[in-house]
A and B are shown apart, each in its own frame.
Chain A
Amino acid sequence: MAYLELNNINKTYGEGENATEVLSDINLSIEEGEFVAIVGFTGSGKTTLVNLINGLLKPSSGEVLFKGEPVVDTSHERGVIFQNYSLLPWLTVGQNVYMAVKEAFPKESKSTLQQRVRDYVDMVSLTPAINKRPKELSGGMRQRVAVARALAMNPEMIIMDEPLGALDALTRGNLQDEILNIWSKDKRTALLITNDVDEGIYMADRIIPLKPGPNATLGPEFKIDIERPRDKTALNDNPNYKKTRNAIIEYLMDIGESRKSVSQEEFVLPEIAPKSFVA
């Protein structure tokens, strides 16, 4: 039995005539300790997929199994890092993390919890900013707080919804390394949703493309056979890397093309003639 299993998932928004099927026939299984990346275009239903896995949404049909149990609600076992950080602006960095820790370990004493908060804030090297509010932080720092908040709850699985999408390339690279470090330290299971193929190849064991929606479904998986720890500069010369990257991009381009040809519609243009305002 796989660690996380998605069986024939369909997700429809709306009802009756207005119904749009966002995801259809999604099948996925992730083993314990694996790092899986799902790559897809914007608007292809990636966030919907994430919310189905973390329990914020329920599938219209099909089932999500986590350790053999159907997912019916959110759980502290699955930590989520949101696309837009989602920090509470009226709390400081420490308070944001503390809130999560307190919920995850209700029985611990206050000082243990505070120590835990300090440890995790330190891990993302934000100790000097622990008493600052999110508005005083840069985008990268905010995302690091979100990472600390998710990890401080000690989840068995980390679900990341385009966590680095809004960051600049340099910060992005640093955070990728930080996340990989944390992941490899105690071999948690990780699911990364991204629109960046390179990010997927650098970080994941497997890459699965999500075909663009509506009716988005998962494409064939690509295994990344590159030894860890991976080196970003050396990666460029790795023949394996080039091959995988080209295959994935070719695949994504192809489905992009075929989607375009499917959705060709005839538009009737209205007859418009210039009007003279002088006469």
Chain B
Amino acid sequence: MHAEEKLTAETFPAAPEKATLEGKNKFLGFWLFLGGETVLFASLFATYLALRDKTAGGPPAHELFRMPLVFVATMLLLTSSLTSVYAIYHMKNFDFKKMQLWFAITVLLGAGFLGLEIFEFNEYVHEGHVFTKSAFASSFYTLVGTHGGHVAFGLLWILTLMIRNAKRGLNLYNAPKFYVASLYWHFIDVVWVFIFTVVYLMGMVG
């Protein structure tokens, strides 16, 4: 199939993200990229685990963490992963309007998560948990902050795609782009599950 072909709901392929060679390449290349990202986060996690009790006189994790806040943020991000699944479901059914709607909800939930994280970091800073305080603080902000940076980048990315394609609807040129952005969004979500477990839950039990 050709990228510029005009399609209808009937002629739209079942897997539009892989219907062209460009799409297939993007699909595979992005999965491989996520493999590299996994190693990146694994390195950050390993360092955090090595340094998490090196507080150098600053507040330790279990006194610091605001679990209710983190729990709400976690729920927002997990839900956003679900809504991005709905968006891709509608993409495959060639329903552009509904796809845009669910991506918009995804972006709002993601923005909510990011807002809460910034608020959370601000609270911690006021309690003396600043980046330069200790090895624990440096590794905490670098791990969680790198994730937060990924969320911010993902939001900008999905928003750009939504605005760019708002007027022209779906085709085989932009379907792989939406699909790959949603893959990225799921990846961010999975990383957060590990952060919630390894950083926050394990932080509370010492």
A binds B: no
